[in-house]
Structure 1
């Protein structure tokens, strides 16, 4: 097979992490090494803190409270109102709207 401007035996072109042959599957490069999709996502992928699904290239996302969020997942932990572009409040790493930030617990 041909990959990265080189020729490999099919069984020799393998994931740098799991050492499984990549064959004709998609692979991703990181620091000059090929990774299968599963290992690349596990090692280098970004997951949304709100829904725990990966953030794909082209997805709208933001970073807040030390985490990455899909723009639609960044909501108040109590009332689910979207907080993108609004003043951020938080308690125990949970995003809150102004109304719930100061409400008695």
Structure 2
């Protein structure tokens, strides 16, 4: 097989992290090293603080409280109302709407 301007035996072109061969699967590059999709996401992707899934290119996201959130995941920790573009408060690193800003159990 041909990849990265080299010729490889199919069993020799491996993910830099898990060392499994790619076969015909897609791979991602980081710092000149090839990674399988699973390891690339685990090691290098930005994950949403609300759902822990990757924030991918083209996704709408919000940076708040020192974290990255999908726009649909940035919700009040009590009532789950979406806080995108709304004033919000924070308690124990959790976003809160104005109504629940002084909630006791967050």
Query: TM-score, normalising length from structure 2?
Result: 0.89
Equivalent in the alignment of 1:85:
85
Q: What secondary structure, in the 3-state scheme, does the structure 2 residue paired with 1:12 have?
A: coil
More helix by share: 1
Give the CA RMSD over aligned residues: 1.3
Q: Runs in 1 of length 4+ with deviation above 6 angstroms?
A: none
In structure 1, distance between residues paired with 2:26 and 2:18: 15
Segments of 5+ residues of structure 1 without an aligned counterpart are none
Query: TM-score, normalising length from structure 1?
Result: 0.90
Report how far residue 7 of structure 1 moved. Answer: 1.4
Q: What secondary structure, in the 3-state scheme, does the structure 2 residue paired with 1:99 have?
A: coil
Which piece of structure 1 moves more, 32-41 or 59-68? Answer: 59-68
Aligned residues: 104
Segments of 5+ residues of structure 2 without an aligned counterpart are none
Equivalent in the alignment of 1:49:
49
Residues 29-50 of structure 1: per-residue CA shift (max 9 Å, x gap):
0011000111111111222111
Equivalent in the alignment of 1:25:
25
Q: What secondary structure, in the 3-state scheme, does the structure 2 residue paired with 1:68 have?
A: strand
